[in-house]
């Protein structure tokens, strides 16, 4: 992707709950504006995979933090095909499975884990210069000085339908799991899921991906950084 990254700093922070379209929108926007892409959720998932593999009790925050401090976590930033490895193991597929999905909110709530990964994320952003970053606390914590902060949302029904289609899962079960994760992520003590005060809120319930990307590009053009 090196040759496709345009000159000029541009940091876009995309936050929002699961199923709001963050990943697809962020990747397409990054390609559209010649930027890199960082999926911070994949970092927390990869760490969760490592914690589960280690056999550590998820409620033992010190042990979870120890795994976080020792793991060799690497994530690519090419929006057209990034990889994720944990201790040399390709975990791109494994981190999307139900076991990791069920445990990631607990691991992500550990203060020491967030401190470590936020520092890593900020370094990636600084090194890239031009990047679209997606997660749950990007605009409020990771990149509060982003050129554009966006909070994507959608109705609970739309989010459940999208996620169940992606995972080939039951819609009702998916809706229940999304509600569980939303509550955990929005009520955790450290860096909860939240809308940054100066973020642009965009409801994607009735919008296609191309429409959302076009709106974000328009907002970037208004700021002179598209």
Q: Residue 32 and residue 188: Cα distance in Å, rounded?
A: 34
Entry pTM: 0.87
Report pLDDT digits (tens) over 80-90. 988 999 999 99
Between CA 210 and CA 2, with CA 118 as vertex, the angle to 5 degrees is 55
pLDDT band at 99 (very low <50, low <70, confident <90, very high): very high
Report pLDDT digits (tens) over 110-165. 999 999 999 999 999 999 989 999 999 999 999 999 999 999 998 888 888 877 77
The whole-chain average pLDDT of the chain stands at 90
DSSP letters for the chain: -GGGPPSS-EEEEEE--TTSSHHHHHHHHHHHTT-EEEEHHHHHHHHHHHHHHHT--TT-HHHHHHHHHH--EEE---TTS--EEETTEE-TTGGGSHHHHHHHHHHHT-HHHHHHHHHHHHHHHHHHSEEEEEESSIIIII-TT-SEEEEEE--HHHHHHHHHHHHT--HHHHHHHHHHHHHHHHH-SSS-S---TTPEEEE-TT--HHHHHHHHHHHHHHTT--
The pLDDT, as a whole number, for residue 85 is 97
Residue 175 clears pLDDT 70, i.e. is over it: yes
Q: CB under 8 Å to 31, separation ≥6 — which residues?
A: 4, 79, 80
The pLDDT, as a whole number, for residue 1 is 44
The residue with greater pLDDT, 58 or 163, is 58
Q: Is the dihedral of CA 47, 152, 214, 222 positive or negative?
A: negative
The pLDDT, as a whole number, for residue 121 is 97
């Amino acid at each position: 992707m090196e040759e496709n990254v345009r000159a000029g700093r541009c940091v876009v922070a995309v936050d929002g709950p699961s199923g709001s379209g963050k990943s697809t929108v962020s990747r397409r926007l990054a390609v559209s504006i010649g930027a890199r892409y960082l999926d911070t959720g994949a970092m927390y998932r990869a760490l969760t995979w490592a914690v589960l593999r280690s056999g550590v009790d998820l409620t033992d925050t010190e042990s979870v933090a120890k795994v976080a401090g020792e793991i060799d976590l690497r994530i690519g930033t090419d929006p057209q095909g990034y990889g994720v490895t944990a201790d040399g193991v390709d975990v791109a597929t494994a981190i999307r499975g139900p076991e990791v999905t069920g445990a990631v909110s607990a691991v992500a709530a550990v203060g020491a884990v967030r401190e470590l990964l936020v520092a890593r994320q900020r370094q990636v952003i600084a090194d890239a210069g031009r990047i679209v970053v997606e997660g749950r606390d990007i605009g409020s914590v990771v990149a509060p000085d982003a050129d554009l902060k966006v909070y994507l949302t959608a109705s609970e029904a739309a989010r459940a339908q999208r996620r169940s289609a992606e995972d080939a899962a039951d819609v009702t079960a998916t809706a229940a799991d999304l509600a569980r994760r939303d509550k955990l992520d929005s009520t955790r003590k450290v860096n909860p899921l939240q809308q940054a005060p100066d973020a642009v809120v965009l409801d994607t319930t009735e919008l296609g991906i191309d429409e959302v990307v076009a709106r974000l590009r328009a907002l970037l053009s208004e700021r002179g950084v598209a």
